[in-house]
Structure 1
Amino acid sequence: MTIRKGSSYGIRRSGDSDIPEASTDAELARIISSATDHGVHQPLIRVTGGDMFRTLGGHPSLGDGTSDDLALPIDVAYATLDDGEEHLFVSHLVARRRWWSGRFVAVMNAEWLGDLDLGVRSHPGDGLLDITDGRLAVRERITARRRARTGSHVPHPALRTSRAAFFHTTFDPPLAIHLDGVRHGKVSSLSIRLETDFALVVL
């Protein structure tokens, strides 16, 4: 049920308090990965925090959501790293050095990366990832970070942006990979594929 412009989003369902709960993006990814490893199709998870929660309109004042929950289908992505294994992530993958110096790649399934609005067009149910690949000088990084806090992005000749369900690149020298905010070491090769409507979340 990939979301389309002007269409409704979500599946109305009766509340169910007996479902796993995730308060961070990394925790949400672990729960989904574990469920699918055990053969669960489109696992249902309650999300109470993280960048996916914020992207979907979540707010701490929403309450416990124990009745008439709206289940929202979300896409997830798999990243193949140098170890040859696929690693599931739900909100974002970032390849970078400290302070974002030199080349960096940001792959966004959610809109937010902490307090940075890096995926202005991104929606976790639209079947596409927002990808930014490039490098910025120190002054440009400061300006970009300030703009990213408000989502007021402007095109930059040093940044390549695209929207796709598949992505592959290489790094020389290798870059550190961060999946949903968790560092996974340095890699020289990266491949990403998106799986649509892979899980259901309630807020």
Structure 2
Amino acid sequence: SSDAELAAMVASDPGAVMATSGGDVHAALGRPSGRGATARRLPMDLLRLSWEGDSALAVAHAVLRTTWWRGTVVAVMNVERLGTWDVAPQAHPNDGRADVVTVARSMSLRTRLAVRRRLPTGTHLPHPDIEVRRRAEGAVTVGGEADLWIDGVRHGRCRQLTFVVEPDAYSLVC
């Protein structure tokens, strides 16, 4: 199951113990099978998101961007990975905080291409044009209207995204 599917299951039955077989949360846990004598129940954080009269839950990440190639990009990360990219190498899905990764508007296209090549291994950090802050809540913006992606699914456009980390909001068996 994907991160978006897991978030939908958590939203529909918050007290249930969940399992996942795919997505970035699954990758953060080492891609466990969830079967056999070694299966464990793990408490997991989630992100409560709100923007311009709308709201959603995220289990992995929310990204606010106009494009990857120019302008500010902000990723609110509950896990370290966004697909094949290790965006927030220090992020943990049960530490009560999100890693807010902000790429400066001033970063050149050439630099963005170089950073992109290092994203799969997490070696894009530290970088003077990329800021990482660990926060339990906050509001992020990119300086105008931008696309909002939650757990890999586009949710329209907005100017500001507010987030609150809800510690131990659900449990996964892995």
TM-score (normalizing by structure 2): 0.92
Give the letter aligned to residue 157 of structure 1.
P
Give the letter aligned to residue 48 of structure 2.
Y
Out of 136, 145, 161, the residue aligned to residue 116 of structure 2 is 145
Distance of 1:100 and 1:115 partners within structure 2: 18
User: Post-superposition, which runs of at least 4 consecutive aligned residues in structure 1 deviate over 4 A?
Assistant: none
Most deviating of 128-137 and 153-162: 153-162
**Who is 1:88 aligned against?**
57
Contact 1:171 1:187 in 2 (8 A): no
Task: Sort the Cα spacing of 1:100 and 1:77 in 2 relative to 1 into closer, same or farther, 3 A.
Answer: farther
**Who is 2:19 aligned against?**
46
Out of 25, 35, 48, the residue aligned to residue 3 of structure 2 is 25
Distance of 2:124 and 2:65 partners within structure 1: 20
Q: Say which one has the larger Rg.
A: 1
Deviations 1:150-186 (A, max 9, x none): 1113322222210011111334321100000000111
SS of 1:148's partner is helix
**Who is 2:78 aligned against?**
109
Distance of 2:79 and 2:93 partners within structure 1: 6
Paired residues for 1:174-189 under 5 Å: 174-189=145-160
Deviations 1:96-130 (A, max 9, x none): 12334211101110111000001200110111111
Distance of 1:31 and 1:186 partners within structure 2: 24
Distance of 1:68 and 1:156 partners within structure 2: 39
Query: In the TM superposition, what is the alpha-carbon distance from 1:35 to its structure 2 partner?
Result: 0.8
How many percent identity over aligned positions? Answer: 36
Distance of 1:147 and 1:169 partners within structure 2: 24
Number of equivalenced pairs:
172
Q: Which runs of 5+ in 2 are unaligned?
A: none
Task: Sort the Cα spacing of 1:46 and 1:90 in 2 relative to 1 into closer, same or farther, 3 A.
Answer: same
Most deviating of 126-135 and 93-102: 93-102
Paired residues for 1:191-202 under 5 Å: 191-202=162-173
Out of 173, 177, 197, the residue aligned to residue 144 of structure 2 is 173
Deviations 1:69-94 (A, max 9, x none): 20111100011111x23210000111
Out of 159, 180, 197, the residue aligned to residue 130 of structure 2 is 159
CA RMSD of aligned residues (A): 1.6
Task: Sort the Cα spacing of 1:47 and 1:80 in 2 relative to 1 into closer, same or farther, 3 A.
Answer: same
SS of 1:200's partner is strand
Q: Does 1:125 align with 2:88?
A: no
